[in-house]
Amino acid sequence: MFNKLRYFSAFLFLSFIFSSHALAWVGDTKKLFENDEYEEVIKIASEHKKDKKRRIGIMFLTFSHLQKYELNDSKSDKRQYKNYMEVLEDNVSISDLDDINYFIEQFDKPEVVKVAQKVLKIAFKNIEDVKDIPNLLSFIKSDNKKTRKIALSTVKKFMKAKRKYVNKGGTLRDEGIIVMQDEKLIRALLDHAKDSKAKDVLISIERPVLAYISDYEGKAVKKIEEKILKAIKKREKKHPESNWYSAIGKVKDVALKFEN
């Protein structure tokens, strides 16, 4: 028994060492990238381009070749950039959001920011589960209008589909209810109430928004509240027994206790 514990402890220690080493190369490479040392970035990132768990290696290669092309008008770098960009477009996912955001925040590299936002849009399009929506909170809160727009468009697609499902006579599944009533999500949207996409999402969420909207002021917020109240009346007229997540008034344990 003692030997098993010793071997297990050794395994955990080695795992920690390897994990720390894996994180170290990323941090070191970020410093090189920020200092425009793209040849060094390419040399290091090339050793990690086949990592299927994390695509930061491919990203470093993509954006380093892009920068070299932008700076030198190099045909070979343009070709390499396009090749790596194709790999990113085919494989990028929700798990890559933090790494993509790193490149979006390289404000002194405008072409990198522009292409990173394109990659972000592809990653968002690849989201297929409403449970992933809370992972977009930092992007909804972003001061970068283009980044926020991409995130809100994704959230809007999911929320409109949920509201449409209820209006047609359905009852939302638990995961949909949990996301739509999420206070952090609702408050992030209310912080951008003047944004037309945020407004549309809030109206689609409907009743849960009213639990928090009194904490906010302004004409945009007032209009959203009026439209939500109007939407509730319309739903209740069509489905008299309904609540905000069920056309037949089915009660779900995961649902917070909002008034209809």
| Contacts (Cβ under 8 Å, ≥6 apart) of 222 | none
- What is the DSSP-derived secondary structure letter of residue 69? H
Q: For residue 183, what pLDDT is reported?
A: 97
**pTM for the structure as a whole:** 0.82
* 231 burial via Cβ count (<10 Å: 0-12, 13-18, 19+): middle
Q: What's the average pLDDT block by block, 10 residues per block, for the chain (260 residues)?
A: 50 42 84 98 95 92 98 96 96 92 96 96 91 93 91 96 98 97 97 96 98 97 98 97 97 83
What dihedral do alpha carbons 10, 13, 14, 19 form, nearest 10°?
160
| Residues comprising the chain, all counted | 260
